[in-house]
Amino acid sequence: MSSAKYHQIKDHILTQIRSGQWQEFQRVPSENQLAQQFAVSRMTARRALSELTDAGILTRTQGLGSFVASFKSQSSLLEIRNIADEVRERNHSYSCAPVTLESIDAVAPIAIALGVEPGEQVYHSVLVHFENDAPLQVEERFVNPELAPNYLQQDFHTLTPHEYLSQVAPLTEARHTVEAITPNQQMCTWLNLYNEEPCLQVIRRTWSQRGIVSFARLVSPGSKYRLGGHLTFTKRS
């Protein structure tokens, strides 16, 4: 019963957003309010909010609550680089192992993230990137077929998704969400982790001039990866 209710909560929130009843940056009901409304435990309500936050549909602020995320593009403060180039710049060897390459029906959170209708076909890939034959990052990506029609035909042993998408739909803007997570069992297997080492997760949506190109989740062991950036500020006269 709790599983069905959990899906009902997610569907309710997504319906409110799609219909325009809840606008971007609007606060959504709290865990307690949702638990009372759907007659479930706070844990069930928290799971629904957490998964929508992981998908970039909501944002959460400690002490303030959950809010509808902005679905408009915004400038990125993080430089987006090709992971293969990063590894080779360290004079290390790079390799990649594709795990999944498929076309799927877009469930509501993915449809919203890509700006398509629920049920439309989108491309889905899971790849593991290696540095010196050690797993460095798991990349799960959903791609808009209209903007990258030959995505599934690429050989990602030799070409990264970033390289291919930069060729067919040059990046103009991006939106990031960065957080520390505890990896699940499948993620630990892919990353060859033997304990619950914290991982760095980046949720990223990218735009080209024609629209939203992809929605990706990048997960790396906290001990092996870090993010950096460079900001230039214009001095006011």
pLDDT per position as a tens digit, 176-210: 888 888 888 899 999 998 776 788 888 999 999 88
Distance CA 189, CA 25 (A): 36
C-alpha distance from residue 186 to each of 113, 136, 183, 190, 216 (Å): 24, 15, 8, 6, 17
Domain layout of the chain by residue ranges: 2-68, 83-221
| pLDDT above 80 for 23 | yes
- Buried b / exposed e along 134-169 (16+ C-beta atoms within 10 A): ebbbbbbbbbbbebbeebeebebeeebbbebbbeeb
Q: 2-68: which CATH topology?
A: Arc Repressor Mutant, subunit A (1.10.10)
Using alpha carbons only, give the angle 88, 94, 98 rounded to the nearest 5 degrees. 145
What φ, ψ does residue 209 adopt, rounded to 5°? -65, -20
What count of other Cβ atoms lies within 10 Å of the Cβ of residue 228? 6
Average pLDDT over residues 84-94: 87
pTM, whole model, 2 decimals? 0.68
Neighbours of 92 (CB within 10 A): 14
Domain 83-221 is found in CATH 3.40.1410.10: yes
DSSP for 129-148 reads EEETTEEEEEEEEEE-TTT-
**22-26, 97-101, 114-118, 129-133 — which is least confidently predicted?**
22-26
Query: Is pLDDT larger for residue 179 or for residue 137?
Result: 137
Q: Are 48 and 13 in contact (CB under 8 A)?
A: yes
Half-sphere exposure of 99 (CA within 13 A, CB side): 16
What is the percent of the chain where pLDDT is above 90? 42
Q: Which amino acid is at 36?
A: Q
Dump the DSSP string for 185-213.
HHHHHHHT-SS---EEEEEEEEEETTEEE
Please name the residue that has the structure tokens 């799960």: 140
